[in-house]
Amino acid sequence: MDLMQIGLLLLAGGVAGFLAGFFGVGGGIILVPILLAYFQATGVTSLVATHLTFGTSLLIIIFASSSSAYQYARNDHTVWKAVLLLGAGSILGAFVGTAVAADLAGKSLQRIFAAVVFFSAIRLLSEQRKPKGEPEMNLGIVGLLATGLMVGIVSALAGVGGGVFSIPIMYSLLHFPMKKALGTSSATIVITALASVIGYVLRGWGNPLLPPGTLGYVDPLSAIPIIVGTLPTAALGAAAAHRTTSGVLRKAFAGFLVIVAIKMFFF
């Protein structure tokens, strides 16, 4: 890895980190196309490049989301009961998702995910401003566990943290205020991504097509410069979100989801 490559990976980490902090997501939508292009350029066979990309992206997401989750928690935007229940469901979902992903090509999965994300964006854009007497948050065990299960599957299949899926559900169906949805998502993503990484390590262990230095479908050495780039900018993104009004955040997040859908469908 030369200095140019290190610099580009640092820059990618900085951008992904800010998005992770500002939108309460993992930043995988930026990381996945960059890592995929990087692995293909360095000679990794297409038979394992996508799986290696997803596993490495999820490793980076653990650190990016940890930084932003800390900032959200400091500002009291985290619902810890929801984090625990969402996280428990996502662990099971992540292992199911990695088992499926290990045996399937990623293209059709990415397009299905893009359709789900686009639908979520349209729902958020069409949502009217909530009245001041908005209903209480729904912290029911079944709803949160089921949401976590779906988030874990989506995370593993798409190499992202799952926030693009969980935040619209928390906001629209479970009645979370937007900032609490973002903060709760950031903390949950740490659990989800960790479970997904373990799954990718186990599923890829011993694959002879992988390059040297990898742990299954995870490349820690390539992840290091990106992680270094994410840590300061993730905290900056979360701090910026704290100073932004909820209506603006909702519209900005919906626009972000549209970009996510387009990238996942066409790249």
Q: Under 8 Å CB-to-CB from 50, ≥6 apart: which residues?
A: 36, 105, 106
| DSSP letter (8 states) at residue 43 | T
Rounded to an integer, what distance in angstroms lies between the CA atom of residue 148 and that of residue 97? 12
Q: What is the pLDDT of residues 62-81, one digit of tens each?
A: 988 898 899 899 999 999 99
What does residue 205 show for φ and ψ, rounded to 5 degrees? -60, 125
The pTM (predicted TM-score) of the whole model is: 0.82
Rounded to an integer, what distance in angstroms lies between the CA atom of residue 244 and that of residue 249? 7
Mean pLDDT value of segment 85-104: 88
Q: What is the pLDDT of residues 191-238, one digit of tens each?
A: 999 999 999 999 999 999 999 999 999 999 999 999 999 888 988 988
